[in-house]
A and B are shown apart, each in its own frame.
Chain A
Amino acid sequence: MNKNNILIFYEKSKSNAVISLIFFAVLLIIPAILRISSYRNESYVEGVLILCMMWAAMTLSWNLLMGYMGIWSLAQQVFFGIAAYTSAMMNYYLHMSPWLGFIVGPLCATLVGLLVAIPVLRLKAAPYIIIATMCLAEIVRLIFINLVDWTRGELGFWQMDAFNNILGINFNGADKIPYYYLIFIIFAAITLVCALLAKSSTGLAMKSIRDSQEAAESLGVDIVRTKIKVFLISAFMAGFCGVFFAHYIKILTPTDVFGPSMMTELIAMNVLGGIATIRGPIFGAFFLTLTMETLQGIDSYKLLIYALILIITTLVLPNGMLNSSAQFISWINKIKNLRLNKKVPLTEFSESG
């Protein structure tokens, strides 16, 4: 890499940092703007943005496993659900403060992360990992359905306590702003950790594992340690989102939090935005959540449109919407070529066979 390249790289990362700062600053002041302009649907907009941020945080946590490390673990919702359930059950049976859930919930999720990581460690081929983790997730869901005495089975839990008032902030009212800032902090923290992790030596190790385990091993990367570490971090992050969910949405059923539909959304969001980047999952989560929210009016066609978006993006922009600048440039060049060289195309490709 010559000096010039380093400079460009530096500039690029600086501009990325500026963009993300602006993004978070805008998110930070949106409630204030809404309040000042006394916008009528204030709490609706805040509610949507809360969901966006929660999904973005979840997708970021999964992106560590799938995007950076190439491990197709489809059990991310289990970490989310375990933490949510832990906090809800502590609240329901022991009447403990939901804030304690933020400590115990993610820890339980981390523990489950370890339990999921161990069988996955033995598997190398992605299809096996996919099927193993899907089975693990389904086992957890069935256990939560069947242990009716503890988990109340399919009924699940509802009407958990809201977060206690803290520092004079009231979480019990109709006002969504406290929740908004709570998830904002979680989201920002997870983004920061993911960004730092991606740049750290662990991040390099993760990427090398994704590209070739053999090569990573020969370079002295401790594969087992890196994998377990990332699994634990990822589960911990998902746990935070789960606890927030439990005391914000206040309804938990095994099929909602352990079923495969949440995982499907995570995959879609991550793939749409572009894997193995920080901005990709965030963009994907915001894009899909906002699109689905806009389509609320034609509810029954929502999933159809969702599926079509996923199919078209995957086929046309294989690297996700944000990572496809090279693709766009090549299209623009092609169009230019068509216009400039109508008589003699530069290279004529025959796509036979």
Chain B
Amino acid sequence: MTVFVQNLINGIISGSYYAVLGVGLTVTWGVLKMINIAHGDFYMIGAFMFYTFSILMGFPVVPSIIIGIAAVFILGMVMEKFVLAPSLGRGKFGDTPFILTLAIGILLQNIAQLTWGEKNVGVPYFNDAIFQFMGLTMAGQRLIVAAVAMVTLIVVMMVIKKTRFGWAISATAQDTFSATLMGINTKQIYMVTFGIAAGLCAIAGCLLAPIYGINPWMGGSIQLKSFVVCIVGGLGSVEGSIVAGLALGIIESYVTQFLGSGWQNVIAYALVIVMFWFRPAGIFGKME
């Protein structure tokens, strides 16, 4: 029973980050109508930014994280403005922006390799405490990380549902033409949305860095996981991504327990294929 609960908690913790990453990707799809294959690389850059500010420059943890996230947010907006914006809407489903994100991904990876070297680096845990509670062991680090993810998800939901800006995002996603007529600067919304998606990646990157370490290729598997999350949740559905992210984390946690970590990812990807077979639009997606 304890093992069961322990796995559940571990699953929820990693799942909350899949959710954060998936939400970014799904919002990008909803608003810009393109899939971003450089998503994982923004995650990687976020982690490196945190490393730079906290280890190399000696800033305290919280300011480093905030600066790191802000830097990636701006990087995302710059990339959107100068690389993606001129190509949006080209190709049948936005093939051109898709190819461009591919190039952005290579670019970011190479910049990371040149700047920080082709090696693993690490940052220390924020908190070394270990909590024992009814036979469950919880590292303080993981609890902090989970709390931040939950708060992030709640804030994102609130912003989208309740604020003027959130309405503008929904309006642009549903009908760009009409949104323009309402006085919404849709190009700006595109830019900010992409920036926010990148910023969400950076949040995940910064907070997971102490646990998983940092290297220029760390974005690869996270990239595919985020895809899995937003497909299973239904492309464009924020709620779907959150549910799918948590579910994926929990499933992975049990699979690792029973089959070993080598097969954990196989199951996640196989899940997508099965999903496509039975419900191509995702759990929360609308059937076409």
Contacts and interface: CB of A to CB of B under 8 A. Distances in A.
A127 interface: yes
B235 interface: yes
Contacts of B231: 128, 131
B107 A307 contact: yes
Contacts of A353: 180
A124 B231 CA distance: 14
Nearest to A272: B99
A143 B269 CA distance: 12
Interface string A127-144: 110111011101100110
A306 B107 CA distance: 8
Residue of B98, B100, B106 with highest tally of chain A CB at under 10 A: B106
B276 A132 contact: yes
Interface in B81-112: 83, 86-87, 90, 92-93, 95-96, 98-100, 102-104, 106-107, 109-111
Interface string B11-25: 000000000000000
B265 interface: yes
A135 B95 contact: no
Interface in B25-59: 29, 35
Contacts of A146: 262-263, 266
A125 B228 CA distance: 16
Interface stretch (A156-164, A240-248, A310-318): A310-318
Which are the 9 A-B pairs with shortest beta-carbon distances?
A135-B269, A307-B107, A310-B103, A307-B106, A303-B110, A126-B93, A146-B262, A304-B110, A307-B103
B277 A314 contact: no
Contacts of B213: none
B104 A311 contact: yes
A340 interface: no
Interface of A: 70, 72, 119, 122-128, 130-132, 134-136, 138-139, 142-143, 145-146, 260, 264, 267-268, 271, 300-301, 303-304, 306-308, 310-311, 314-315, 318, 353
Contacts of A314: 87, 96, 99-100, 103
B100 A127 contact: no
A315 B265 CA distance: 35
A124 B287 CA distance: 12
Contact of A135 (B227, B262, B263): B227
B224 A134 contact: yes
A353 B180 CA distance: 9
A311 B102 CA distance: 9
Contacts, number: 115
Residue of A131, A132, A260 with highest tally of chain B CB at under 10 A: A131
Contacts of A139: 266, 269-270, 273
A306 B272 contact: no
Contact of B114 (A142, A268, A301, A311): A301
A143 to B, nearest CB: 7
A142 B273 CA distance: 15
Nearest to B93: A126
B102 to A, nearest CB: 6
Interface string B176-196: 000010000000000000000
B269 A138 contact: yes
Residue of B83, B180, B266, B270 with highest tally of chain A CB at under 10 A: B266
A128 B280 contact: yes
Contact of A122 (B90, B107, B266, B280): B280
A128 B276 contact: yes
B223 to A, nearest CB: 9
9 contacts: A119-B273, A122-B280, A126-B93, A128-B231, A132-B273, A135-B273, A146-B262, A307-B110, A314-B100
A145 B276 CA distance: 25
A335 B262 CA distance: 59
Given A139-B266, A267-B99, A310-B99, A260 B220 contact: yes
A133 B231 CA distance: 13
Nearest to B34: A127
B113 interface: yes
B29 A127 contact: yes
B106 A310 contact: yes
B103 A311 contact: yes
B99 A271 contact: yes
Residue of B90, B99, B103, B263 with highest tally of chain A CB at under 10 A: B103
B234 to A, nearest CB: 11
A127 B107 contact: no
Nearest to A305: B110
A130 B35 contact: yes
Contact of A315 (B29, B100, B266): B100
A308 B102 CA distance: 11
Contacts of A311: 83, 100, 103-104, 107
Contacts of B107: 303-304, 307-308, 311
A172 to B, nearest CB: 35
Given A123-B276, A311-B100, A142 B266 contact: yes
A131 B266 CA distance: 14
Given A304-B110, A311-B103, A318 B227 contact: no
